[in-house]
Amino acid sequence: MDIVLMGAPGAGKGTQASRLESVLGFKHISTGDVLRAEIASGSELGQQIAQVIDGGDLISDEMMVSILKNVVSGTDKSIIFDGFPRTVAQAEMLNKMLTQLGRKLGKAIEIALPEEEAVKRLSSRKQCKLPGGEVKQIGPDFTLADCQAQGGKIFTRPDDTPEHIRHRFAVYHQQTEPVIRFYRSTGLYAEVNGNAEPQQVFEELLAVLKK
């Protein structure tokens, strides 16, 4: 059973999806990470993607789905989609893709968080680039001290500046909030309160998944 994890930028989707991956053995697919890996590969496609991401806009639905297809078809584990779908067209394409691959979406869970809290989190968040190139977000599961101990470099994501954060929220309201309404209408929707300690959010997620 695959799962879609939804929520505004900064709601904690990445943190919670990583925990679900380690505890329940899901495959965590963050489309943001998939795109950043394409950029890091130095490909021409990566250069095109970088321009869009750094400005806080969405890459096209067709390009996103074609990149994602390769990742999805490479696993037989249950998947947690983090950061996808971000438009109703992507949600429809996801249904088609999963059916073609003989997979099934079991739940679409929103981590709900007031916008001012999400903006506060994004404005102060930091990343760590490890010597091997892997990027981890600094937080309770990977602290500044962990980063320093492993020889990592601390940096701010180019799209986490105040101006880009504002723009990403505008994009979220306009293009991604309709996805929540889409899943409400399918009966797959569930909501957890994201305005709590990560462990509490995680326990709420586990409870939703048991239902």
Active-site positions?
A: 13, 86, 125, 157, 168
Size of the site for ligand AMP (CB under 6 A): 17
Which pair of structure tokens corresponds to residue 40?
Answer: 């890091």
What is the SS3 assignment for 117?
Answer: helix
Which pair of structure tokens corresponds to residue 182?
Answer: 């889409």
Site string for ligand AMP, 105-144 (x = CB under 6 A): ----------------------------------------
Q: Is 16 in the site for ligand AMP (CB under 6 A)?
A: no
Residue 173's CB is within 10 A of a number of other CB atoms, namely 12
Name which position in 19, 28, 86, 107 contacts ligand AMP (CB under 6 A): 86
Q: Is 176 in the site for ligand AMP (CB under 6 A)?
A: no
Closest distance between ligand AMP and the C-beta of residue 59, in Å? 4
Which of 102, 96, 95, 61 has the alpha carbon at shortest distance from 78? 102
User: Which range touches ligand AMP (CB under 6 A), out of 18-26, 58-66, 126-134, 202-210?
Assistant: 58-66
Phi, psi values for residue 127, rounded to 5°: -115, 160
Q: SS3 sequence, 98-114?
A: HHHCCCCEEEEEEEECC
Q: Is 84 in the site for ligand AMP (CB under 6 A)?
A: yes
User: Which range touches ligand AMP (CB under 6 A), out of 55-63, 98-106, 130-138, 182-190?
Assistant: 55-63
Distances (CA, A) of 180 to 19, 43, 177, 191, 205: 23, 33, 5, 10, 17
Q: Using an 8 Å Cβ cutoff, are 80 and 108 in contact? A: no
Q: Is 12 in the site for ligand AMP (CB under 6 A)?
A: no
* Chain residues in the site for ligand AMP (CB under 6 A): 9, 31-32, 35, 52-53, 56-59, 64, 83-84, 86, 90, 159, 168
